[in-house]
């Protein structure tokens, strides 16, 4: 990258806008190294994904990217295309460890940790083994045996489902605390503003299940759905009379390109104030509760991060 | 993902220089409602900043003849904003400093954290707020970026440890 050559303020090929936990700045006083971005497996998709490791505090962070069409940054005296906003938020390492335990479970036996967490493609997975209180964490998802003071572990689906259920419930609490609108009524609230708070418990469970499902493989997500006794996602209601969305379909090409994000008509669309053409699709997503994380970010949240 | 060398995939680490988080000078950020297909210096202070006015419904400015309305957005509490830049290879001096300090600071790691083929990233600026611009109207509370700013709170709940039975 040419950036390293010219250390001038603005002549940089890639500037990344990041939001980090504030305490990383304070703890960095004591540490001279140990904050690093590494590529590990994404426990949901199985693809390589960038995570941030703090070797000093022994913490794992996931990176999410906000990306919406037609944005750019002015950063001091420079312009940066894309308008990406990166978030680093603490991640429960158990989701990643779980991936390896499920994989190892095919052999159906108790194994020591360092034989479970091995990965030729993403060798940095061994960093996970340095995290503190691993044994306590693993207790949530594995059976264990101790032979000659060495611990052996085996994946337990039953325990894992119970653990995930607790995750779902604490996520539901956060959704409520943050007033996130989770139900199908997001759409109908277009027409009567007072229904917004009528989200049902089931909608919250669906939504939380969708959020958690971004961290576990599909089979486990299905198992969790059964465990929570969630009904199959109902087929989306016929689109409510789409007067309002129509309005923003009208404008001429250029106007549509630039105004769709701030058109007042989209006010009640909450999480889906994206392209008007995509609104119906997004509404469906909201109803099923799946892939909900994507409603916070752009569609291709993982792509650019590989360039860091 | 986009790495061209298959032997590097998954092996390269990008080290963030912690000291730069402390030293990063404040930067001014504007998030524009349009795509400028360039990454380069721009005389923002000459053309953009002096044109910003406080209007009845937020900030006003124009860019390429289009009218923009803006609002200040604060970084959520508990978070800090940084602008980061990756360094090219061959930043010899800086790299040496880093290895040096690693010897002193690195505790009981058997394997060095930093390897020859690793890269480095550093914070060049910090911010606690930015200006969010919309075309003709202010983006308002339903702008997608506000939804994204609620993410850290939800993430905290998803990833918090669950109580034992």
Nearest-10 crossing angle of helices B151-159, A157-177: 150
Residue-wise pLDDT for A42-83, tens only, equals: 999 999 999 999 988 889 999 999 999 999 999 999 999 999
Q: Report the gap between the CA of B51 and the closest CA in chain A (Å).
A: 14
Cα separation, B55 vs B70, in Å, equals: 10
ipTM over 0.95: no
Q: Which CATH class is domain A156-183+199-231?
A: mainly alpha
Question: Which carries the bigger pLDDT value, residue B18 or residue A37?
Answer: A37
Largest distance between two CA atoms of chain A: 75
Angle formed at CA A120 by CA A140 and CA A57, multiple of 5 degrees: 50
CA Rg value for chain A: 22
pLDDT of residue B1 exceeding 50: no
Cα separation, B82 vs A28, in Å, equals: 14
* E runs forming strands in chain B: 14-16, 25-26, 29-32, 40-41, 53-55, 58-63, 66-74, 79-87, 119-127, 129-135
Nearest-10 crossing angle of helices A157-177, A218-227: 80
| B125 and B26 Cβ atoms separated by less than 8 Å | yes
CB neighbours of residue A198 within 10 Å: 12
Q: For chain B, say whether A263 makes contact (Cβ under 8 Å).
A: yes
Q: Which residues of A touch B153 (CB under 8 A)?
A: 174, 177-178
Kindly determine whether residue B44 and residue A39, on different chains, have CB atoms separated by under 8 Å: no
Average pLDDT over residues A139-164: 93
Q: Give the pLDDT of residue B116.
A: 79
Cα separation, A34 vs B19, in Å, equals: 11
Residue-wise pLDDT for A82-92, tens only, equals: 999 999 999 99
Domain locations along chain A: 156-183+199-231
Q: For chain B, say whether A74 makes contact (Cβ under 8 Å).
A: yes
Residue-wise pLDDT for A89-146, tens only, equals: 999 999 999 999 999 988 778 999 999 999 999 999 999 998 888 889 999 999 999 9
When the candidates are 3.20.20.140, 3.40.50.150, 2.40.128.680, 2.60.40.10, the CATH number that belongs to B6-88+116-159 is 2.40.128.680
């Amino acid at each position: 990258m040419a950036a390293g050559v010219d250390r001038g303020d603005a002549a940089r090929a890639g500037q990344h806008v990041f939001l980090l936990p504030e305490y990383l700045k304070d703890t960095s006083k004591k540490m001279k190294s140990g904050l690093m971005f590494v590529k590990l497996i994404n426990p949901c998709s199985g693809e390589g994904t960038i995570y941030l490791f703090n070797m000093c505090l022994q913490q794992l962070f996931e990176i999410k990217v906000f990306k919406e069409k037609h944005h750019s940054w002015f950063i001091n005296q420079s312009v940066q295309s894309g308008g990406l906003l990166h978030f680093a938020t603490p991640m429960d390492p158990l989701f990643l460890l779980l991936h390896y335990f499920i994989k190892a479970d095919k052999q159906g036996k108790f194994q020591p940790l360092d034989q479970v967490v091995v990965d030729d493609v993403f060798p940095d997975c061994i960093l996970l083994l340095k995290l503190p209180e691993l044994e306590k964490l693993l207790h949530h998802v594995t059976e264990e045996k101790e032979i000659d003071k060495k611990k052996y572990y085996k994946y337990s689906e039953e325990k894992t489902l119970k653990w995930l259920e607790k995750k779902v419930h604490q996520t539901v609490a956060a959704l409520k605390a943050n007033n996130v609108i989770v139900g199908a009524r997001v759409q109908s609230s277009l027409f009567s503003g007072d229904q917004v708070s009528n989200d049902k418990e089931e909608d919250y469970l669906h939504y939380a299940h969708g959020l958690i499902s971004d961290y576990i493989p599909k089979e486990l997500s299905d198992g969790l759905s059964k465990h929570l006794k969630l009904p199959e996602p109902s087929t989306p209601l016929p689109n409510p009379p789409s007067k309002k969305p129509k309005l923003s379909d009208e404008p001429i090409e250029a106007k549509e390109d630039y105004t769709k994000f701030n058109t007042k008509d989209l006010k009640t669309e909450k999480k889906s104030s994206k392209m008007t053409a995509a609104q119906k699709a997004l509404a469906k997503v909201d109803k099923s509760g799946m892939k909900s994380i994507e409603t916070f970010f752009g569609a291709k949240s993982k792509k650019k991060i590989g360039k860091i | 993902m986009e790495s061209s060398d298959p032997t590097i995939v998954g092996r390269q680490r990008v080290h963030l220089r912690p000291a730069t988080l402390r030293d990063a000078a404040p930067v001014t950020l504007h998030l524009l409602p349009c795509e400028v297909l360039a990454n380069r210096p721009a005389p923002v202070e000459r053309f953009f900043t002096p044109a910003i006015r406080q209007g009845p419904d937020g900030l006003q400015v124009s860019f390429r003849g289009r009218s923009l309305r803006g609002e200040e957005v604060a970084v959520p509490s508990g978070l800090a904003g940084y602008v980061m830049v990756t360094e090219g290879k061959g930043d010899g001096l800086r790299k040496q400093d880093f290895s040096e300090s690693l010897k002193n600071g690195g505790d009981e790691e058997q394997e060095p954290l930093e390897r020859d083929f690793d890269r480095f990233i550093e914070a060049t600026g910090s911010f606690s707020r930015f200006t969010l611009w919309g075309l003709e109207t202010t983006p308002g509370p339903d702008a997608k970026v506000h939804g994204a700013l609620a993410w850290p709170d939800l993430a905290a709940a998803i990833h918090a440890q669950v109580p034992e039975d």
